[in-house]
């Protein structure tokens, strides 16, 4: 079952708080403090309160913006199995530029890229194209893992019957983790 993933609005909220705080501080500066009048409706106290609320909003907004984990640059890792397939499989070799383009499109927006979910893997793109990239995304650490480079061998059957093996739990993330990952450089040997 596909989980709906939330869009990162925290940065927008943080920036809104900062702008609201700046607005309150500027309003406070423009109104000016005309003197000490000791009464229940003390204008000095109103101005100081507005000033501190404005500063607090700016601090809260800055904290949200800078603590947002989506600020961390996306790291892309590719499995040894995918690298081996890119060197040994003739279909993958012949279409390596299309696979690289798809990996680039996935990396631009992993949460929004059209995909189907098979077992523990996302497979992109969906639709009429025969080439597929199996991947998963570690949202907490902002790491995109490219697990395998696939294609439809015949009909809806993927190369090496990959989709059937995934559905039957004969292929899992653990299999790719045990083979290892390396940092993706944006190209592969063809």
- Whichever domain contains 88, its CATH number is 3.30.2310.20
Mean pLDDT in each 10-residue stretch from start to end of the chain (190 residues)? Answer: 49 80 73 46 59 79 68 86 94 93 90 86 82 92 94 88 93 92 77
Count of domains observed in the chain: 2
Please indicate, yes or no, whether the overall pTM of this predicted structure exceeds 0.75. no
Last residue of a domain, one of 27, 45, 71: 71
Rounded to whole angstroms, how far apart are CA atoms 156 and 137?
Answer: 24
What single DSSP character describes residue 128?
S
Domain extent, residue 113, equals 75-183
Cite the DSSP H helix spans in 113-189: 162-167, 173-179
**Whether residue 80 is found in the same domain as residue 112:** yes
**Whether residue 118 is found in the same domain as residue 150:** yes
Residue 189 lies in a domain: no
**Whether residue 66 is found in the same domain as residue 85:** no
Residue 159 lies in a domain: yes
pLDDT at 98: 92
């Amino acid at each position: 079952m596909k989980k709906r993933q939330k869009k990162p609005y925290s940065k927008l909220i943080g920036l809104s708080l900062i702008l609201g705080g700046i607005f309150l501080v500027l309003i406070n500066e423009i109104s000016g403090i005309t003197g000490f009048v000791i009464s229940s409706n003390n204008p000095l106290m109103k101005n100081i309160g507005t000033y501190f609320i404005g500063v607090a909003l700016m601090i809260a907004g800055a904290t949200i913006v800078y603590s947002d984990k989506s600020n961390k640059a996306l790291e892309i890792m590719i499995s040894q199995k995918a690298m081996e397939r890119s060197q040994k499989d003739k279909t993958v070799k012949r279409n390596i530029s299309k696979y690289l383009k798809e990996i680039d499109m996935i990396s631009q927006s992993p949460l929004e890229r059209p995909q189907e979910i098979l077992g523990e893997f996302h497979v992109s793109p969906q639709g009429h194209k025969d080439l597929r990239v199996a991947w998963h995304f570690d949202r907490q650490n902002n790491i995109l893992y490219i697990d395998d480079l696939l294609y439809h061998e015949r009909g809806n059957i993927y190369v090496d019957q990959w989709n059937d093996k995934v559905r039957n739990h004969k292929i899992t993330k653990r299999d790719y983790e045990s083979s290892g990952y390396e940092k993706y450089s944006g190209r592969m040997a063809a």
